[in-house]
Chain A
């Protein structure tokens, strides 16, 4: 059983996440021009600037499939996260079962 207060890490995690959300709310309300685009995209913009080449002139070296819309892209990202979630949840369940049996 729990003897003394031992949720320091849990509390820290919650504080960190709340602070993170707070920072986001602050940035999004004060930075009028913030687009919250991916830093990959911003980085590519800088590449275009440094090499004096318009961004749309960068052609893939190896042809690649692009998700036709943002919805399909986020669907595939969700799929990736779901796969990870299944792995994590499955293993924690397996360990809990092992522990119960032992």
Chain B
């Protein structure tokens, strides 16, 4: 999902930076607030952030004959919301721009918007819609995670299509072309990522249910009944 350094005109770099910065500042403010209210939120932040580090470093082969990486942002978006997630993504993306030449400082704003803001926001929205329904908790996590991944790549396509409309077909034509590269490659990855992170969530439920209840990530009833199902303990 990285737009490479130099591949976005400076006007667009500026626009995406202007969108990204207030989100990051609000995310930092929220992060401070969450950690001040409950120190036990810090380990959860470590786990959810850790998966962003791990998954976004794995470049996996896909059906289109090219490679792409999952984003891992779903768990963090569910636990802490999209704004805090954007801060963690900004750290990962900064590391990748400085040391890996994946993305770059001028396009960092655009990459933060896709991986750190729009993707997590989409996942968070799905989670909020399903949280208080009878839909299975792990299925909710799966769906939110997979969609956070897909929307990240759809946003990258959008950012590139806006900057490079096709000669025939204009913006829509070029959006379709970019989606063909990014989104189709991403479908199998997003499904596997969703299942894996749902499994990780199961282990968090088994080990540290109280933090999930205190942060009101899911209702106490749902968590307790899932633990009952798990049978362990």
Q: Using a CB–CB distance below 8 Å, which chain A residues touch chain B?
A: 1-4, 6, 9-10, 12-13, 16-17, 20, 23-24, 27-28, 31, 33-44, 46-47, 50-51, 58-62, 64-67, 73, 76-78, 80-81, 83-88, 90-92, 94-96, 98-99
Contact = CB atoms under 8 A, between A and B. Distances in A.
B1 A16 contact: no
Contacts of A38: 59, 66-68
Contacts of A36: 61, 65-67
A99 B205 CA distance: 12
Contacts of A84: 49-55, 57
Interface in B64-108: 64-68, 92, 95-102, 104-106
A39 B63 contact: no
A64 B105 contact: yes
A58 B6 contact: yes
Given A38-B66, A87-B46, 20 more contacts: A6-B229, A6-B230, A16-B192, A20-B192, A36-B67, A39-B182, A43-B3, A46-B177, A58-B6, A62-B5, A64-B98, A65-B99, A73-B101, A76-B99, A76-B100, A87-B53, A90-B46, A92-B47, A95-B208, A98-B208
A28 B61 contact: yes
Contact of B181 (A42, A59, A76, A91): A42
B106 to A, nearest CB: 4
B57 A78 contact: yes
Contacts of A20: 60, 188, 192
Contacts, number: 186
A22 B226 CA distance: 32
Contacts of A43: 3, 156, 160, 178, 181-182
Q: Which one of A27, A51, A61, A73 has the highest number of Cβ atoms from chain B below 10 Å of its Cβ? A: A61
8 contacts: A6-B229, A23-B63, A37-B67, A40-B2, A40-B3, A65-B99, A80-B53, A86-B50
Interface in B179-194: 181-182, 185-186, 188, 191-192
B198 interface: yes
Given A90-B46, A91-B43, A60 B65 contact: no
A95 B53 contact: no
A84 B156 CA distance: 24
B160 A85 contact: no
Q: Which one of A3, A16, A39, A65 has the highest number of Cβ atoms from chain B below 10 Å of its Cβ? A: A39
B10 interface: yes
A3 B231 CA distance: 6
A3 B51 CA distance: 31
Given A60-B6, A64-B5, A88-B46, A95 B207 contact: yes
